[in-house]
Amino acid sequence: MTSRAQKTTRDLRWHNRSDVLTRLYLRECTNRNDLARASGLSAATISNVVSDLIADGLVGENGSQSSAGGRPRSLLRVRPDFGHVVGVDIGETEIRVGLFDWTLQPVADDEVRAVATAQIPPHEVADQILSEIAAVTARAGITPDGLLGVGIGVPGAGGSVIHAPTLGWSAVPLAGLLRAGLGFAPDVDNGAMALGQAENWHGAARGAERAVTLLLGIGAGGALSMTAGPAGRARSFTMEWGHTVVDLDGPTCRCGARGCLETYIGAEAILARYAGTPGSAPFDGDGVEAHLAELVARAVKHREPAAGAVLDETARYLGIGISNLINLVAPDRVILSGWAGALLCDALLPAVRLVVRQHALPYLQEFTRIEPGELGPSATALGAATLPVARLLADGGRRGDE
Ligand SMILES: [Zn+2]
């Protein structure tokens, strides 16, 4: 029988492991001395914890750095070869599945499948996800049961049951539907929240105290990442920014309300506005993503007036939406991310910054930088992959079966 004292000692050991591993993973510390200083743990404890992490294959010694007047310090890094994670981005029109090592470097090209997720039953969406996971892992020569975890980003609220109005999902047990096929339960959460976590760990929000990451796609979501306390680490929260109202008598939104920001800056809304603008022309290819890319090319490369006018108007609404955010939460950074963000950013950013200068309160906006995301078109799948990694870090690198 395990005594309470033994249990407490074991908990403390895993707590210390989690703390040290997280600092190394987020590159806050790179050697034992820094770890001891940052964590407040003794040099002997740090030495033991690091030895355990090295023995378990989570951390490696990687060269050394000189220190002022002392012995060279060996550099510690997490080992990418410890294992793989999968990130799944469930959108309204497609499912994107990415395979990454656990430091979130891509291992294979994403599997992208057009799936009308709102039109088919959830168990069929789950089957499609399982077959894409099987495909992406097979191409890399690994099997799904060898993964450290699978993260799923959904529109709406995540957890053991999913509420996603844009998919028509109410209390859908997605993790349960996937569990049998995977052999373990995936981590499911809001896609924008996961994206915010990824931009915070590895992208454009890194080092910000209060960052807002905007997920621009068919809809418009957001995440607020805030650092709490002097040594705090950022935590991310979902914001339904796309459903803040910018026009009392505006078009009806998917949520049922009128004049939501999303009805002006969502990818389909932008394309619909273009189609209704005199001088516009139909698109050749298929798919919202290809059409939006073509719209940007018509405006920027070919200087087509109709396309230019639609992008100008989009920049005004985006700028107003960001100004409202700045006045509400005073972020030091706003990141334009998601696949539509990646397509639109270069063309819109100068005009968006101008609108913000005109509309956000001067004493708040002077601290705010508006920047493009750094994670590319797979940003949301990569964000979803942070979900199992966050759990692994919190557990001190313990796999589910330990
Ligand atoms: Zn709405």
Task: Tell me what pLDDT residue 229 has.
Answer: 56
Predicted confidence at residue 119, as pLDDT, reads 86
Q: What's the pLDDT score for residue 184? A: 92
Cα separation, 179 vs 185, in Å, equals 5
Distance 356 CA to ligand 1 centre (A): 22
Amino acid at 171: A
pLDDT of residue 279: 94
* Range list for CATH 3.30.420.40 in the chain: 83-194+380-394, 206-374
Which of 92-96, 112-116, 265-269, 381-385 bottoms out in mean pLDDT, i.e. has the lowest? 112-116
Give the whole-number percent of the chain exceeding pLDDT 70.
97
Place of tokens 């306390």: 229
Whole-number pLDDT of residue 228? 64
Query: What is the rounded (10 degree) CA torsion for 247, 343, 93, 250?
Result: 10
pLDDT at 311: 97
Taking the C-alpha atoms of residue 5 and residue 41, their distance in angstroms, rounded to an integer, is 20
Please give the average per-residue pLDDT across 6-29, as a whole number: 89
pLDDT for 2: 59
Q: If you write DSSP's letter for every residue of 198-213 in order, what string do you get? A: HHHHHSTTTT-SEEEE
The CA 230 to ligand 1 mean position distance, Å, reads 37
Q: How far is the CA of 321 from the centre of ligand 1 (A)?
A: 13
297 touches 304 (CB < 8 A): no
Is pLDDT above 70 for 153?
Answer: yes
* Residue-level pLDDT at 402: 53
Q: List every span in the chain annotated with CATH 1.10.10.10.
A: 4-81
Model's pTM, two decimal places?
A: 0.88
Q: Which one-letter DSSP state was computed for residue 56? A: T
Categorize the per-residue pLDDT at 118 as very low, low, confident or very high, splitting at 50, 70 and 90: confident
Q: In angstroms, what is the span from residue 253 Cα to ligand 1's centroid?
A: 5
CA–centroid distance, residue 59 to ligand 1 (Å): 45
pLDDT digits (tens, 9 = 90+) for 193-250: 999 999 988 889 988 999 999 999 888 888 898 876 555 677 888 898 999 999 999 9
Give tens-digit pLDDT for 36-74. 999 999 999 999 999 999 999 999 998 777 766 677 788
Architecture of domain 4-81: Orthogonal Bundle (1.10)
Instruction: Give Cα separations from 224 to 46, 227, 294, 341 (angstroms).
Output: 33, 10, 31, 17
CATH, domain 206-374, list 3.40.50.2300, 3.30.420.40, 1.10.3720.10, 3.30.1490.190: 3.30.420.40
**pLDDT averaged over the chain?**
90
Is residue 22 scored above 60 in pLDDT? yes
Distance 269 CA to ligand 1 centre (A): 12
Which distant-in-sequence residues (6+ apart) come within 8 Å of 375 by Cβ?
195, 198, 199, 202, 203, 337, 382, 383
Q: How many helices (H) and strands (E) does the chain have?
A: 13, 14
CATH code for the domain defined by 83-194+380-394: 3.30.420.40
What distance in angstroms lies between residue 104's CA and the mean position of ligand 1's atoms? Answer: 32
Per-residue pLDDT at 349 exceeds 80? yes
- Average confidence (pLDDT) over 178-195: 92
Q: What is the pLDDT of residues 136-152, one digit of tens each?
A: 999 999 988 789 999 99
